[in-house]
């Protein structure tokens, strides 16, 4: 599961559809509707909110907006409640890490989009987040240089 802190505009079609599905899965987890992914580290930032389900709803709303702007027909009714005023912190180190990770994916999966975005030095974050100084978030499980997860 990857709930990008980056703005969804940077994602290729496969990435945007995957983000929608994974965020819907995250919503189901936060609502206690599934047994899988309950301990996924990326859910920590939503669980730390007063209303985690509404926070993931706000996340989904921005993904939905990007999808509509691209002409996709995602189902708005799946989002549920949205706390439009909620903002979650994210570190600039996390944004930088995710940007490198996304560019690595795009280089192989969508070279044209990689070329479009590779010179971007300051990518925007997802509208739900507010950037603050810091390293990679504690819940992140970084990949090594080869793109694999280091052995524990």
Instruction: Give mean pLDDT, residues 89-106.
Output: 95
* Residue whose token pair is 């980056």: 6
Considering only residues 88 and 83, tell me which one the structure prediction assigns the higher pLDDT.
Answer: 88
Share of the chain above pLDDT 70, in %: 92
CA distance 59 to 87: 10
pLDDT at 81: 78
Q: Which of 53, 50, 45 is nearest to 24 (CA)?
A: 53
pLDDT tens-place string over residues 115-136: 999 999 999 999 999 999 999 9
pLDDT tens-place string over residues 30-66: 999 987 677 777 898 999 999 999 999 999 999 999 9
Phi, psi dihedrals of residue 54, rounded to the nearest 5°: -70, -35
Instruction: Give mean pLDDT, residues 72-90.
Output: 89
* pTM of the complete model: 0.89
Token code pair at residue 25? 């899965």
Mean pLDDT is lowest, of 14-23, 35-44, 94-103, for 35-44
- What phi-psi label fits residue 132: left (phi over 0), alpha (psi between -120 and 50 degrees) or beta? beta
Instruction: Give mean pLDDT, residues 91-112.
Output: 95
pLDDT of 151 over the 60 cut = no
């Amino acid at each position: 599961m990857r709930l990008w802190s980056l703005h969804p505009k940077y994602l290729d079609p496969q990435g945007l559809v995957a983000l929608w599905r994974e965020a819907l899965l995250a919503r189901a987890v936060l609502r206690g509707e599934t047994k899988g992914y309950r301990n996924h580290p990326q859910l920590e930032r939503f669980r730390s909110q007063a209303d985690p389900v509404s926070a993931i709803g706000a996340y989904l709303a921005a993904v939905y907006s990007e999808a509509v702007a691209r002409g996709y027909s995602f189902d708005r009714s799946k989002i549920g409640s949205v706390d439009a005023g909620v903002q979650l912190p994210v570190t600039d180190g996390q944004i930088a890490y995710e940007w490198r990770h996304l560019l690595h994916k795009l280089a192989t999966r969508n070279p044209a989009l990689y070329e479009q975005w590779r010179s971007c030095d300051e990518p925007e974050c997802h509208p739900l987040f507010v950037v603050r100084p810091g390293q990679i978030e504690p819940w992140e499980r970084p990949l090594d240089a080869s793109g694999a997860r280091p052995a524990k």
